[in-house]
Amino acid sequence: MYTDKVLEHFSDPHNVGEVENPDGVGQVGNPICGDVMKITIKVKDGRIADVKFRTLGCAAAIATSSITTDMAMGKTLEEAQAITRQQVADALGGLPTNKLHCSNLAAQGLHVAIKDYLAKTGAAVKGAGSPAAEGAE
């Protein structure tokens, strides 16, 4: 069963859409369940100035995308890169065991968008690439 927080973010998701002229794009998917997420970011002064998502998937996939974008907004790239799948699940009050992969996808999509930004700009983020920064994926 889903928590009230999951249902809230599923029925009224935050940050839906795509950032115009994004600085970074992360698209991830799970071939087993069919969930696909695209997260776009705008970076200003080393911080996530805007972040949006488009997700095709179940209630948990949409809710984790929504909460992940909330968690990343305004964070430094280092802080956003350190968001883990467990933190995403915890922010939603937990997820059923068979839906934990959704929080993994949301965190991974954010990390891929940040990596895309870094690759495009040649910038570096302290801690990027470490197991903690990868969200223990």
Which position among 61, 95, 102, 125 bears the catalytic label? 102
pLDDT for res 131: 37
Is residue 41 situated within a structural domain? yes
Is residue 13 situated within a structural domain? yes
- Which residue range forms the structural domain that includes residue 8? 4-120
- Report the helix count and the strand count for the chain, using DSSP H and E: 5, 3
Is residue 132 situated within a structural domain? no
**102 is an active site residue:** yes
Separation between Cα atoms, residue 137 and residue 45, nearest integer Å: 27
In the chain, how many domains are there?
A: 1
Is residue 82 situated within a structural domain? yes
pLDDT for res 46: 93
Is residue 44 situated within a structural domain? yes
pLDDT for res 43: 97
Which position among 33, 49, 58, 73 bears the catalytic label? 33
| Average pLDDT along the chain, 137 residues, taken 10 residues at a time | 94 97 95 89 97 94 96 97 94 90 88 96 64 38
Q: Which pTM value belongs to this model?
A: 0.87
**58 is an active site residue:** no
CATH of residue 49? 3.90.1010.10
Residue 30: left if φ>0, alpha if ψ -120 to 50, beta else—which one? beta
pLDDT for res 33: 79
Q: Return the biggest CA–CA distance within the chain.
A: 44
